[in-house]
């Protein structure tokens, strides 16, 4: 049964990739639709019907179990059910939301979020998901995989996640499905289904540009996002807001002109003030 579960996880990634491309107004929808159709046809008929029904109803058809909890709806699962999910000898569904369940690898990265201090003001907009210390105005790396590793290393070094290496490998695997590079020199690599914490965003700039995806277009602005399963739906709104903010050349130029993390942070806040409430 494990190969079937892995197949459904990859299929879910295709659905997520399609939603991401749609939110970013990208142009790979036909390619993704064809891949989804092919992978659906490879599932047994009864499981295919169940997967499609769940996908249409709840966006996520298959969800990981994290710390004994269905990460999609938050229900605490019986220990016996968790063991059955780990064994993967049959299809197990959540008693509450009916999603198909699977077990995350033991070495899965974990989002820690940011611990609030009592004196800290309530954050709004992009500040809910990021911080000045997560800004990199001068990326040292110049290839897709190395940039992803540099960004993951930053998020881990600043105490926002554990397991930065695993995070990077998962992000790189995700890029192999379809690139998250879009028009205007932007890219949005990310990892979904991370345990614990909240959504986290880091931003890296490479003014000379580099090839993040296929084709001749160069990427200069890279947003890396860590997405717990519970935040999957909001991530699409965040992505849409970022895309709207940086379609404008003036907004992109202001990011590219920043030479310190503090300036980059202020430019990011200013550009997203109306698009990410």
Q: Tell me the chain's radius of gyration from C-alpha atoms.
A: 19
Would you state the pLDDT for residue 236?
A: 82
Question: Domain 110-272 in CATH: superfamily?
Answer: Mannitol-specific EII; Chain A (3.40.930.10)
Tell me which of 1.10.3090.10, 3.40.50.720, 3.50.50.60, 1.10.287.1490 is the CATH number of domain 2-103. Answer: 1.10.287.1490
List every span in the chain annotated with CATH 3.40.930.10.
Answer: 110-272
Would you state the pLDDT for residue 75?
A: 93
Spatial strand order in the sheet of 100-103: 69-70, 62-66, 100-103
State residue 209 phi and psi, 5-degree precision.
Answer: 85, 155
Task: Find the DSSP H helices in the chain.
Answer: 2-23, 29-41, 45-58, 79-87, 144-157, 164-177, 232-246, 249-256, 261-272
Beta bridge partner(s), residue 69: 66, 76
pLDDT at 86 over 60: yes
Taking residues 160-164, what's their average pLDDT?
Answer: 89
Mean pLDDT of the chain: 88
* Percent of the residues in the chain that have a pLDDT greater than 70, as a whole number: 90
* Percent of the residues in the chain that have a pLDDT greater than 90, as a whole number: 61
Taking residues 245-257, what's their average pLDDT?
Answer: 96
Determine contact, residues 7/42, Cβ cutoff 8 Å.
yes
List every span in the chain annotated with CATH 1.10.287.1490.
Answer: 2-103
Q: Which residue has the higher pLDDT, 165 or 21?
A: 165
> What Cα–Cα distance (Å) separates residue 62 from each residue in 53, 82, 85, 150, 259?
11, 15, 12, 30, 43
Taking residues 74-103, what's their average pLDDT?
Answer: 94
Determine contact, residues 104/65, Cβ cutoff 8 Å.
yes
pLDDT in tens, 120-156: 455 789 999 999 999 999 999 999 999 999 999 999 9
Would you state the pLDDT for residue 121?
A: 55
Task: Find the DSSP H helices in 189-228.
Answer: none
Beta bridge partner(s), residue 195: 110
């Amino acid at each position: 049964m494990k190969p079937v579960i892995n197949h459904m996880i990859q299929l879910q990634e295709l659905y997520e990739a399609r939603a991401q491309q749609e939110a970013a107004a990208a142009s790979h929808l036909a390619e993704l639709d064809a891949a989804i159709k092919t992978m659906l046809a490879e599932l047994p008929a009864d499981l295919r019907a169940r997967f499609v029904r769940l996908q249409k109803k709840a966006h996520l058809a298959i969800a990981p179990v994290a710390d004994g909890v269905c990460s999609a709806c938050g229900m605490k699962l019986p220990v016996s059910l968790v063991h059955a999910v780990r064994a993967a000898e049959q299809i197990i569904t959540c008693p509450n939301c009916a999603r198909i369940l699977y077990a995350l690898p033991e070495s899965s990265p974990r989002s820690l979020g940011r611990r609030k201090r009592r004196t800290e003001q309530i954050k709004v907009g992009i500040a809910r998901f990021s911080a000045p210390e997560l800004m990199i105005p001068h990326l040292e790396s110049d290839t897709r995989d190395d940039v992803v590793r540099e960004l993951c290393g930053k998020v881990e070094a600043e105490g926002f996640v554990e397991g930065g290496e695993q995070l990077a490998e998962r992000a790189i695997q995700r890029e192999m499905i379809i690139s998250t590079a879009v028009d205007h020199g932007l890219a949005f690599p990310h990892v979904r289904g991370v345990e614990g914490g909240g959504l986290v965003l880091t931003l890296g700039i490479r003014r000379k540009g580099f090839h993040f995806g296929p084709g001749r277009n160069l990427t200069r602005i890279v947003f890396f996002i860590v997405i717990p399963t519970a935040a999957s739906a909001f991530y699409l709104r965040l992505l849409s807001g970022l895309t709207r903010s940086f379609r404008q050349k003036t907004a992109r130029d202001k990011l590219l002109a920043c030479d310190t993390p503090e300036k980059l942070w202020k430019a990011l806040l200013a550009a997203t003030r109306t698009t990410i409430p």
